[in-house]
Amino acid sequence: MYARYFGLRELPFGITPDTGYYFAHTHHQEALNMLLAAVRMGEGFLKVTGEVGTGKTLLCRKFLAVLATDAQFTTAYIPNPYLEPRALIEAIALELALPLEPGQGQHALLTQLTERLIGNYAEGKRVILCLDEAQAMPLETLESLRLISNLETEKCKLIQIVLFGQPELDERLQERSVRQLRQRIAFSCRLAPLSLADTEDYLRHRLHVAGYDGPALFRKRAVRVLYRASGGVPRLANILAHKALMAAYGEGAEAIHARHIRLACADTESMRHRGNRLSWLPWGRR
């Protein structure tokens, strides 16, 4: 593989969310700062949306990692909340290390959860629940979240809930049946794709984290072609950058040129489903 060839400790453009590669560009850092400030203020519901591949899961994991360094927070993470209401409550209970009894009714389960939350509050701990892919939640499960959020003292919530989801989450929250939940969302933000300048910094950042310390590996024109092809979506940028590095390695090139990005585009299935995105590529140019 190309890692040793380019002086890398590891492959820099994996698509698995890795907080070691977190890139604090404007939109993500603003979202992270908003989340941290909001949970410290005790806000009940928060929401982060973004298109597929814009880094919601990575932001969620970074947020959880930061909270893990603060003893006042206890966190629960549900990566796939496509669950019925009872199953969601059970998942939250398991995340909080509650022992579940066979045949336990929902009322008893909620009572047990409430007691744990009150106990955490008495110890000066705040419970933060993060739900990824929240756009997949059934409406009745979304409504059950509102009921869980009703657990509170006279001064603060016993549990704070952060929803991470695709833009379809906003559409689901427009449903009349969950209007009370929608009204309780105190802060929300939407992740935008990278700009051209961000994309160049993003590539450089990931290469640096992976151990590269040489001159700019991606030529300016290569960055422009990659940016236009990916639309600034980090996941697509990772896929194209990885394949471009493979192409450059295969021909013994010392840098990534526009032609390597074009080869990566031609070899990427998602590029064939992005309208006329490939038609502008000047295939004969370096």
Q: Where are the domains of the chain?
A: 26-191, 194-270
Q: Which amino acid is at 187?
A: F
CB crowding 6-30: b at 16 or more within 10 Å, else e: bebeeebbeeebeeebbbebebbee
What pLDDT was estimated at residue 281? 53
- φ, ψ at 98 (rounded to 5°): -85, 135
Q: Return the half-sphere exposure (C-beta side, CA atoms, 13 A cut-off) of residue 144.
A: 19
What pLDDT was estimated at residue 82? 94
What pLDDT was estimated at residue 29? 93
What pLDDT was estimated at residue 36? 96
Query: In tens digits, what is the pLDDT along the chain, a chain of 286 residues?
Result: 899 999 999 999 999 999 999 998 888 999 999 999 999 998 889 999 999 999 999 999 999 999 999 999 999 999 999 999 999 999 999 999 998 888 888 888 888 999 999 999 999 999 999 999 999 999 999 999 988 888 877 778 899 999 999 999 999 999 999 999 999 999 999 999 999 999 999 999 999 999 999 999 999 999 999 999 999 999 999 999 999 999 999 999 999 999 999 999 998 877 755 544 454 454 444 5
What angle (nearest 5°) sits at the alpha carbon of residue 198, between those of residues 196 and 203?
A: 100
What pLDDT was estimated at residue 283? 44
| Cα separation, 93 vs 223, whole angstroms | 46
Which is nearest to 192 in space by CA: 15, 55, 36, 38?
Answer: 55
Q: What is the 3-state secondary structure (H, E, C) of the chain?
A: CCCCCCCCCCCCCCCCCCHHHCCCCHHHHHHHHHHHHHHHHCCCEEEEEECCCCCHHHHHHHHHHHHHCCCCEEEEEECCCCCCHHHHHHHHHHHCCCCCCCCCCHHHHHHHHHHHHHHHHHCCCEEEEEECCHHHCCHHHHHHHHHHHCCECCCCECEEEEEEECCHHHHHCCCHHHHHHHHCEEEEEEECCCCHHHHHHHHHHHHHHCCCCCCCCECHHHHHHHHHHHCCCHHHHHHHHHHHHHHHHHHCCCCECHHHHHHHHHCCHHHHHCCCCCCCCCCCCC
| Cα separation, 71 vs 160, whole angstroms | 16
CA dihedral angle for residue 110, residue 85, residue 96, residue 124, rounded to 10 degrees: -60
What pLDDT was estimated at residue 272? 58
Q: What fold, for 194-270?
A: Helicase, Ruva Protein; domain 3 (1.10.8)
Asked whether 134 and 169 are in contact (CB, 8 A), the reply is yes
Which is nearest to 261 in space by CA: 231, 224, 212, 207?
Answer: 224
What pLDDT was estimated at residue 151? 83
| pTM assigned to the model | 0.91
What pLDDT was estimated at residue 106? 84
| Cα separation, 170 vs 128, whole angstroms | 21
Question: Domain spanning 26-191 has what CATH number?
Answer: 3.40.50.300
